[in-house]
Amino acid sequence: MSGVITDANGQEITDNSFQMSDNSESPVFTIYVRALTNYKLTATTDSITTVLARKTGSGAAFQNIAANPIDLTPFANTVVAYDYKVSAADVSVPRNSRAVRFRCTPNP
């Protein structure tokens, strides 16, 4: 059974593109994930950017999902909303373009 990450309209998300200042955090985006047993939310590591996420409405602190993936098993076979944002470190050039993969995988 394959999964999909969608936006609020149910449209599958293939990418999200935006700009932000260094030493800051991006706005918060909400995604909808079809949770599967043993699957985890994680991200590729990047030297400049960090992907932070938490379950929508949980009130929990955002966590670095590359270092500390979020387990979807407790919500298996349901669609769950998650908030994510990106934190950017300092850059020394005017524009440093990064590509980070937001992953839902059993092998983080």
Partner 1 sequence: MSSVNYFSEVLPASVAAITTTTATSTCGVRGGATGLARTNTVASARGNIVFALTGNNAVTNTNATSRARLDSEPNVTGTAAATTTTSAAATSLLVNTGNGGMAATSTSASAASFVKVQEEFGFTIFVDVLDSAVSLNGQRRRETRRLLANGVEVPIRSYNYNDKAGEIGRSLSVTLARAYLALLPNNAVWEFQAGIWNGTGYSWLSLLENGKMAGRNRSLSKNDDLTPSDMVEIQIRDGLAEKVTAAPNRPIILYNPDLTEQAPLTDTQNALQDINGAPILPIVEAVAGLDLRTVLNRAYVAGCGFSSVVTNLPNFPVARVEFTLENGYDGGVRNLLALFEPIFDVQNNVLWIIDSDASIPVGTTPADLGINKFVSLNEQIEPKVLYDAMIVSYAERGAGADGEFSTERTETPPSQSANFGTPAYTRTDFVNRFRDFRNVDNPSVVTRSILIEAKKTTYGNGGAVISEEIQRDTYDALARKTGHTRVIKGQVPNLPFRTTSLQTVRSETETIAYAPNPFEAGEFVQSSVTIFEEGLVLIDAENIDPLTDEPQRIPFADARVNFLIVPDSTQTFQTLPIRTVKKQLNALSNGQVNIASEVINHLTNTTERSYSEPVPGSASLGRADKLNQKRVRITTGTNQTRKSASFDGGDLPRTIAVLLGRRNLARLNSPPRTGSVVLPLADFTLRKGVARRLYDRAGAIGNFRIVGLSESGQTTQNGIQTTPTIEIKEAI
Applying CB under 8 A, the span of 23-31, 54-62, 69-77 interacting with partner 1 comes to 23-31
Cα–Cα distance between 62 and 55 in angstroms, integer?
9
x/- mask, partner 1, residues 48-87, rule CB under 8 A, reads xx-x----------------------------------x-
Interaction between residue 26 and partner 1 (CB under 8 A) = yes
Cα–Cα distance between 36 and 76 in angstroms, integer?
4
Nearest to 36 by CA among 94, 104, 107, 91: 104
DSSP-assigned letter for residue 24: E
Minimum CB separation of residue 67 from partner 1 in Å reads 16
Contact 68, 43 (CB under 8 A): no
User: Which residues contact partner 1 (rule: CB under 8 A)?
Assistant: 1-5, 7-9, 11, 13-24, 26, 29-31, 37-38, 43, 48-49, 51, 86, 88-89, 91-107
